[in-house]
């Protein structure tokens, strides 16, 4: 028998009888280790997987030109994805990160005879990179995505699930290459380590414990067992 020092591959599951007390279930997905083997993350760990923000229409930006306060200002991206700046003119920001835009502004300023400009672009407010969280959460709404966000984090941004939420009925709607898709997740399984907490992307719609899951996955949801893998479907 393996000791607590080894990987035991144990996962907490829920009894089919619907009791609130969990039972142990072996899925090979989770390892049991000592507290000493759970060290803090390194700086490299903290920066890994971060996604750059992509600027979009109506985002509010701060543009700082070092040593030239008359060229520094706050601007808002227009509906066509452009910003207008002194000497730099109108710049298309579509698909650019703040770093990309800063570089583009520097090139424009150099062409306008500004010697070795140094530009920093920051995000003040974003309305283009957002996720919608709806259903049985305390504060449904639209929330900005700054960098990387997971499903658990998105639900937490909406102040968590309500007392009567069905944590096993969480649907994420997404459009990929023009195709509408939906994925069914079980928050209980994610929290127990059955599978990785999935990433959430801009324009995703997360619906917690609502009729959307029952409508799209009726056969699956007839059972009360733990959903040990996400289910994906294409929407017509």
Considering the domain boundaries, does residue 211 fall inside one? yes
Do 70 and 82 fall into the same domain?
yes
The pLDDT score that the predictor gives to residue 37 is: 56
The pLDDT score that the predictor gives to residue 46 is: 59
Beta-carbon contacts of 38 under 8 Å, excluding residues fewer than 6 positions away, are none
Do 166 and 189 fall into the same domain?
yes
CATH number for 68:
3.30.1950.10
Beta-carbon contacts of 146 under 8 Å, excluding residues fewer than 6 positions away, are 53, 123, 126, 129
The residues facing 12 across adjacent strands are 24
Considering the domain boundaries, does residue 52 fall inside one? no
The pLDDT score that the predictor gives to residue 215 is: 67
Rounded (10°) CA dihedral 25, 28, 30, 34: 100
The values of phi and psi at residue 111, to 5°, are -65, -25
Given 75, 104, 125, which residue is the final one in a domain? 125
Considering the domain boundaries, does residue 184 fall inside one? yes
Do 145 and 218 fall into the same domain?
yes
Q: Tens of pLDDT along 140-190? A: 999 988 778 999 999 999 999 998 888 888 988 898 878 888 888 889 889
CB count within 10 Å of CB 95 equals 10
Given 76, 99, 125, which residue is the final one in a domain? 125
Considering the domain boundaries, does residue 105 fall inside one? yes
- Number of domains composing the chain: 2
Do 108 and 191 fall into the same domain?
no
Considering the domain boundaries, does residue 10 fall inside one? no
**Helix residue ranges, H only, the chain:** 43-47, 98-111, 151-157, 187-191, 211-216
Do 148 and 216 fall into the same domain?
yes
The pLDDT score that the predictor gives to residue 48 is: 62
Per-position pLDDT tens, the chain of length 236: 444 333 333 333 333 334 443 444 444 544 544 555 556 667 776 556 566 788 989 999 999 999 999 999 999 999 899 999 999 999 999 889 999 999 999 999 999 889 999 999 999 988 888 899 999 999 999 998 877 899 999 999 999 999 888 888 898 889 887 888 888 888 988 998 888 899 999 889 999 986 656 666 665 555 556 667 777 777 76
Do 134 and 227 fall into the same domain?
yes
Q: Tens of pLDDT along 79-90? A: 899 999 999 999
State the residue range of the domain holding 105.
60-125
Considering the domain boundaries, does residue 169 fall inside one? yes
CA–CA gap between residue 124 and residue 126 (Å, rounded)? 7
Considering the domain boundaries, does residue 40 fall inside one? no
CATH number for 205:
3.10.560.10
Q: Which residue has the tokens 């259903």?
A: 135
Q: Which of 158, 155, 161 is nearest to 141 (CA)?
A: 158
Given 97, 125, 153, which residue is the final one in a domain? 125
């Amino acid at each position: 028998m393996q000791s607590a020092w080894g990987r035991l591959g144990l996962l907490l599951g829920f009894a089919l009888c619907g009791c609130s007390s969990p039972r142990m279930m072996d899925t090979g997905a989770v390892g049991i280790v000592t507290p000493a083997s759970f060290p803090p993350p390194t700086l490299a760990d903290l920066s890994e997987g971060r996604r750059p923000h992509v600027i979009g229409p109506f985002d509010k930006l701060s543009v700082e030109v070092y040593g030239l306060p008359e060229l520094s200002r706050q601007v808002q991206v227009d509906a066509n994805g452009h910003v207008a700046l002194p000497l730099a003119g109108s710049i298309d920001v579509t698909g650019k990160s703040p770093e990309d835009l800063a570089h583009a502004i520097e090139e424009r300023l150099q062409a306008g005879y500004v010697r070795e400009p140094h530009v920093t672009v920051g995000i003040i407010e974003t309305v283009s990179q957002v996720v919608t969280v709806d259903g049985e959460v305390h504060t449904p709404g639209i929330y900005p995505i700054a960098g990387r966000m997971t499903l658990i984090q998105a639900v937490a941004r909406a102040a968590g699930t309500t007392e009567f939420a069905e944590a096993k009925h969480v649907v994420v709607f997404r459009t990929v290459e023009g195709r509408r898709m939906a994925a069914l997740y079980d928050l209980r399984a994610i929290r127990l380590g059955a599978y990785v907490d999935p990433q959430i992307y801009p324009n995703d719609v997360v619906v917690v414990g609502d009729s959307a899951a029952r409508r799209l996955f009726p056969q699956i949801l007839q059972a009360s067992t733990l959903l040990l893998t996400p289910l994906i479907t294409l929407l017509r």
